[in-house]
């Protein structure tokens, strides 16, 4: 379970990286498309057609952010119940909380762009929390093998 916990926490961190890359990829593609004569208006933004190829970045960002990352964070929390090391639940809970905050900020950023800036800041917090959660997992094999004393210490 500790290994699963570790992997899931790293997956959340990696997903944050993908999110940042997808967004810049899409915005850069949009900029190039406009420079090449494309006209951006609301009907383009609402269009389901990919008017420029990098638009896939927006799609990835949306699907990852609204479905994949919350699902992974939720599974991380469930796994944390069984991970049996101090602070496992606390940190998984924090990661999930930051994910929920991130989605909220992302959606509210459509109305209040300044919250979009906080979305960017919170991404770094989420990344840090996910990496820290993964790194603070105690080694699995050692703890399991060295007998009850070690286990008692680990669970204290």
* Residues engaged in binding other proteins (CB under 8 A): 38-39, 41-52, 66-67, 71, 74, 77-78, 81-82, 84, 103, 107-108, 110-111, 148, 151-152, 155
Q: Which is nearer to other proteins, 107 or 124 (CB)?
A: 107
Rg (CA), the chain: 20
HEC string for 27-70: HHHHHHHHHCCCCCCHHHHHCCCCCCHHHHHHHHHHHHHHHHHH
Continuous segment of H or E residues that includes residue 108: helix 88-108
CB of residue 74 to other proteins, shortest distance in Å: 7
Crossing angle of the two packed helices 113-135 and 2-35, in degrees rounded to 10: 150
CB of residue 144 to other proteins, shortest distance in Å: 13
CB of residue 99 to other proteins, shortest distance in Å: 12
Helix (H, G, I), strand (E, B) or coil at 84: coil
CB of residue 149 to other proteins, shortest distance in Å: 10
Q: Which is nearer to other proteins, 97 or 103 (CB)?
A: 103
Q: Which is nearer to other proteins, 47 or 128 (CB)?
A: 47
CA distance 52 to 113: 24
Q: Which is nearer to other proteins, 74 or 131 (CB)?
A: 74
């Amino acid at each position: 379970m500790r290994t699963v916990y570790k992997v899931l926490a790293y997956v959340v961190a990696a997903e944050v990286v993908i999110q940042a890359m997808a967004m810049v990829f899409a915005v850069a593609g949009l900029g190039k498309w406009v420079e090449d004569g494309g006209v951006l208006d609301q009907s383009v933004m609402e269009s389901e057609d990919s008017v420029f190829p990098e638009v896939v970045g927006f799609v990835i960002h949306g699907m990852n952010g609204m479905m994949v990352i919350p699902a992974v964070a939720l599974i991380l929390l469930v796994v944390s119940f069984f991970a049996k090391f101090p602070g496992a639940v606390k940190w998984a809970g924090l990661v999930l909380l930051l994910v929920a905050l991130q989605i909220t900020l992302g959606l509210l950023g459509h109305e209040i762009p300044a919250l979009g800036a906080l979305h960017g800041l919170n991404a770094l917090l989420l990344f840090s929390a996910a990496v820290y959660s993964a790194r603070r997992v105690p080694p699995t094999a050692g703890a399991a093998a060295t007998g009850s004393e070690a286990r008692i210490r680990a669970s204290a």
